[in-house]
Structure 1
C-alpha cells in the first residue's frame, strides 16, 4: 500500500483519495445510463452492478487495511489497546497453545498477563479478508475486529446482502434484470455506506477509539468529530 500510515493526516488523505476515485468512476458510469428503459439501459445496468459491488468490497478492504496499519504503527502496549487488537497481536502465539484442559487454559491466561506491559505487534497483512463475497456476516466480523460495529451498519444488512446476490446473478450469467429505479437506490445507498465507513474510520482514529478506556479517567475527551469531506 506504499508509504506507511503513521499519522492521522496520512490516514485521512489515503482514505479520502480512495473513496473519491471510486465515487467518481461510478458516478461517470451512472450518468451514462439512459433513464428511459431500453436495451442499452439494461446492458449498462448489468455492467455497472458488478462494478458497484467491486468498489464497495475494495473500499472496505483498502480503507480498513489503512486503519489497521495506522493502529499498528502506534506501537502501543497491550494494556493500552482494546481486546480485539490485543487478540490480533497475540493470535499467532496463542494459536500454538491448546485449550483442552484447565492446565492449558491457565497457561493461556498466564501467557496473556505476562505480555500486558509489552509492546503490541499487530499484523497488517491478510487481516481484512472480504472473502471475495462480502455478505453481511463477513462484514460484521471485519467490523468487530476493527471495533467499528454500529447500529447503522446493522440496519444496512439487507442492502449488503442484496448487492452480493445481484452481483452473483450477473457474474453467473443469469438473465436477471435490475430496473433503473432499483439500480439508483443501490447506487445511492452503497455510496452513502462507503461514506459512513469513511467517517467511522476517521472518527475512530481521531478519538483513538482503539485504546482501552483508562479506569476512572477524569481527563476531558476529544469532542470534535471529523466533518464530511
Structure 2
C-alpha cells in the first residue's frame, strides 16, 4: 500500500509543479494574454482534481487494506466498527439473508464473529470535497482530523469554491503566486494524509486497543 500511495502522490506532484512553473513563465511574458488566463483557470480546476482524487484514492486504499484482513468486530477501532455495523444494518433493511445470519453470529458469538468492512459507498467525496465531507470520510475509517482542523477556509474557499467558479463558467483566475501557494498547501495536505495512513497501517491503529479505551473513558468522564 505504501508504494501505491507514494506512486500516486508522485505523479500528481510532478504535474502540479510543472503547471505552476509554466503558469509563472506565461504570466511573466504575457500576463494579460488569453492563454495565460486559460492556464490559470485550468490550474485551479486541476489543483482541486488532485486534492479530491488523491484523498479519495488514499482513503479507499486504506479501507481496502483493513477490509481484506477480515477482523472480528471486537478487534476493530471505533471508526471501522461503526462503519461495519452501519453496513450490516443497511443490508438487514434491504432484506439480505446473509446479513441476518451475520447479525445472529454477532449477537451469539460476539468474540468470534467476523466483521464485513464494506469496500464501497464509504468513501464519498460528493464531488465537492469540503472540510465537513473530509471529516466524515476520516471518521468512517478512524483517521484523525488534527492536521486539517485549521484548513477549513482554505479547503472550502480556495479549493472548492474556486473550482466551482470555473466549472460554472465564471471569469475567475488566480495570479501565479497565489496558485503556487495553494499548490504548496495542497501538496502538504496530501503528504500529511499519506503519512497518517501509512502510520495507521504500520502500527495497526485500525485495531481496537486498551489505549483507545482509556482515551474514550477520559473523554466521557
One of 167, 174, 189 as aligned partner of 2:185:
189
Residue correspondences, number: 196
Aligned-pair Cα RMSD in Å: 2.2
8 Å CA contact 2:43, 2:179 repeated in 1 = no
Task: Show CA shifts across 1:31-88 (max 9, x none).
Answer: 2112423324322111111011001101011111110011111111111111221222
Q: Secondary structure at the match of 1:156?
A: helix
Give the one of 167, 175, 181 matched to 1:179.
175
Equivalent position of 1:13 in the other structure: 3
Q: Does 1:84 align with 2:79?
A: yes
Task: Select the residue among 204, 214, 217 that pairs with 2:200.
Answer: 204
Structure with the larger helix share: 2
Distance, in Å, in 2 between the alignment partners of 1:81 and 1:16 is 26
**8 Å CA contact 1:135, 1:160 repeated in 2:** yes
Q: What is the CA deviation profile of residues 164-195 of structure 1, one whole-angstrom value per residue up to 9, with x for unaligned ones? A: 00000011111123122211111110011010
Structure 1 window deviating more from structure 2 (161-170 vs 141-150): it is 141-150
* Pairing of 1:13-92 with structure 2 (within 5 A): 13-33=3-23, 34=25, 35-36=27-28, 37-39=31-33, 40-92=35-87
Find the aligned partners of 1:182 and 1:114 in 2 and give their Cα distance. Answer: 59
| Over 6 Å off, 4+ runs | none
- C-alpha contact 1:78 1:115 (8 A) present in aligned 2: no
Q: 1:224 maps to what in 2?
A: none
Q: Per-residue CA shift, 1:192-226, capped at 9, x if unaligned? A: 10101000101111111111113799xxxxxxxxx
Match of 1:164? 160
CA distance 1:216–1:90, shift in 2 (3 Å): closer
Unaligned runs of 5+ in 1: 1-10, 98-108, 218-229
Q: Does 159-168 or 145-154 show the bigger shift?
A: 145-154
Cα deviation, residue 119, structure 1: 1.1
The question of whether the paired residues in 1 share the 8 Å contact of 2:72 and 2:114 is answered with: yes
**Higher RCO (C-alpha under 8 Å, 6+ residues apart):** 2
- The separation in 2 between residues aligned to 1:136 and 1:215, in whole angstroms, is 28
Aligned-pair distance for 1:113? 4.7
Give the Cα–Cα distance (whole angstroms) in 2 for the partners of residues 189 and 197 of structure 1: 12
